[in-house]
Amino acid sequence: MNSPSHLAVLGATGSVGKSTLDVARLHPDRIRTVALAGWRNTDRLLAISREFSPAGVCVAEEKATLFRSQVLGAGLNCRVLSGPTGLIELVQSEQVDTVVAGIAGAAGLSSTLAAVQAGKRVLIANKEPLVMCGELLRAEARAAKAVILPVDSEHNAVFQCLPEAHQTNLSRGDLGAVPTSDQSPISRITLTASGGPFIRTPAPDLKSVTIKEALAHPNWQMGPKITVDSATLMNKGLELIEACVFFDLPESQIDVVIHPQSVIHSLVHYVDGSVLAQMASPDMRIPLAHALAFPGRIRSGAPTLNLIEVSRLDFEEPDVARFPCLRLAREAARIGKGMPAVLNAANEVAVEAFLSGRLRFVDIPVLVEAVMERSDCPVINGLDDALGVDQNARHLAVEALKMRSVR
Ligand code: MG
């Protein structure tokens, strides 16, 4: 990285945003934070705006008036944008060359796609854009000469273990230049999963899981949606789909293993029997620093991995009977077309219902499966198709919740 990068951080007040700013803080000469997008946490957004003096900040529409007056009061010289159109304007800005896409859920889709279409270097930390319309995103990256880099720790790990030529081609969305499966040196990918807080919980006890228990992740500090997804293993399911799309492999060539220590973040198996793994402390600053500096390396501020302290690495088969979300995600990956988007939307509704006490933990996969069974899934050719499939699936999920037909 010779000239400094000019960064827009979407989801700046969330966990990915916090880790990104931690890395940026270490490298003021190489990383200039020129745009920030938060949503409702305007106090935090104001604090980081004071620190980084961005040229533009985007907030939720209902917070725009309040935030403008806070910005004025603080004597900051930054443009305040709002809502989904504000987000798009922010990423399209000529001042921005690198976008960290860290907005959770389908809400992050339009801005991520807009960043790719504007030819930016896009660090994808949210799963939904690749799950909902990965092929479209790749095609747009090729057309706009954008660079897409995975920041989800597992995908970043796989990416780091790939040959350099693969890395370059994949980051440009150029699958034509990636060898087909019979010529590829890569035979399989293994994604690791911590297993979440209920890895040892017997099936009958999962029925009475509380919100607090589901939000207590053993290894990672993350937002509530992804933490619940980690507890149901849907997070790994979404990551499986994400890996199929990003690395252009069928789900049959991607394994998931439970690895409770979260030290190996994923592995690539080569045809000669070699297996390359990426290891690191479970800390999002590491994949973010990798993607920010790629193809170089910079300090992340994360602690060095101490193998003696780690002492042992365990692996086991995931139990899809207790955690059916993983099975459902494989099915969605196999079906393809709009089914991954259906799975994602139904899951978002189900997790929200769980977090507000309207759905039991064990009924999250029941609701998702019910919606998948009731959905026909058209091919996704554009953003409107993706959003249409998303809306239909949400509608079906809300109806299923109302009818309590999932019980
Ligand atoms: Mg992950």
Distance 216 CA to ligand 1 centre (A): 16
Q: Answer for the pair 286, 22: CB distance below 8 angstroms, yes or no.
A: no
pLDDT for residue 1 is more than 70: no
170: in domain: no
Give the tokens for residue 135. 């092929």
Q: Please count the structural domains in the chain.
A: 3
Among 8-17, 21-30, 123-132, the minimum mean pLDDT is found in 123-132
d(CA 4, CA 28): 9
> Is 347 in the same domain as 376?
yes
Q: How confident is the model at residue 105 (pLDDT cuts 50, 70, 90)?
A: confident
Q: What is the pLDDT of residue 3?
A: 86
354: in domain: yes
pLDDT tens per residue across span 245-271:
999 899 999 999 999 999 999 999 999
Distance 74 CA to ligand 1 centre (A): 37
54: in domain: yes
The mean pLDDT value for 25-42 works out to 96
274: in domain: yes
- The arrangement of strands across the sheet holding 5-10 comes to 79-82, 56-59, 31-37, 5-10, 98-101, 121-124, 147-150
* Of 98, 115, 150, the domain-final residue: 150
d(CA 56, CA 49): 9
pLDDT for residue 406 is more than 80: no
CA distances from 97 to 28, 40, 146 (A): 16, 25, 10
> Is 78 in the same domain as 187?
no
> Is 146 in the same domain as 229?
no
pLDDT for residue 179 is more than 80: no
d(CA 334, CA 328): 10
> Is 307 in the same domain as 353?
no
Distance 154 CA to ligand 1 centre (A): 5
169: in domain: no
* Of 150, 184, 204, the domain-final residue: 150
* Of 304, 334, 364, the domain-final residue: 334
Half-sphere exposure of 254 (CA within 13 A, CB side): 29
Amino acid occupying residue 256: V
Distance 380 CA to ligand 1 centre (A): 25
Q: What is the CATH number of the domain that holds 99?
A: 3.40.50.720
pLDDT for residue 158 is more than 60: yes
Distance 399 CA to ligand 1 centre (A): 30
d(CA 344, CA 379): 16
Q: How confident is the model at residue 404 (pLDDT cuts 50, 70, 90)?
A: low
Q: How confident is the model at residue 101 (pLDDT cuts 50, 70, 90)?
A: very high
d(CA 388, CA 378): 10
Q: What is the pLDDT of residue 40?
A: 87
214: in domain: yes
Distance 18 CA to ligand 1 centre (A): 16
> Is 14 in the same domain as 83?
yes
pLDDT for residue 72 is more than 70: yes
Distance 70 CA to ligand 1 centre (A): 35
> Is 83 in the same domain as 232?
no
> Is 90 in the same domain as 10?
yes
Give the tokens for residue 76. 């900051």
Q: Which of 193, 238, 237, 191 is nearest to 217 (CA)?
A: 193
> Is 197 in the same domain as 251?
yes
pLDDT for residue 97 is more than 90: yes
Peptide bond into 295 cis (omega under 30): yes
194: in domain: yes
> Is 183 in the same domain as 320?
yes
> Is 43 in the same domain as 142?
yes
Q: Which of 308, 302, 275 is nearest to 290 (CA)?
A: 302
Among 153-167, 177-191, 342-356, 391-405, the minimum mean pLDDT is found in 177-191
**Maximum alpha-carbon separation in the chain:** 63
> Is 221 in the same domain as 188?
yes
Distance 96 CA to ligand 1 centre (A): 26
> Is 32 in the same domain as 100?
yes
Highest mean pLDDT among 36-50, 122-136, 370-384: 36-50
Which residues are CB-contacts of 200 (< 8 A; sequence separation ≥ 6)? none
Q: Which residues is 89 bridged to in the sheet?
A: none
Distance 113 CA to ligand 1 centre (A): 20
d(CA 235, CA 134): 17
Q: What is the pLDDT of residue 266?
A: 97
Q: What is the pLDDT of residue 11?
A: 96
Q: What is the CATH number of the domain that holds 347?
A: 1.10.1740.10
pLDDT for residue 177 is more than 90: no
The range of the structural domain enclosing residue 364 comes to 336-407
d(CA 328, CA 343): 8
Distance 121 CA to ligand 1 centre (A): 20
Q: What is the pLDDT of residue 407?
A: 46
Distance 268 CA to ligand 1 centre (A): 16
Q: Which residues are in the CB-under-5-Å shell of ion ligand 1? A: 152-154
Distance 287 CA to ligand 1 centre (A): 10
**What percent of the chain stands above pLDDT 70?**
97
pLDDT for residue 317 is more than 80: yes
389: in domain: yes
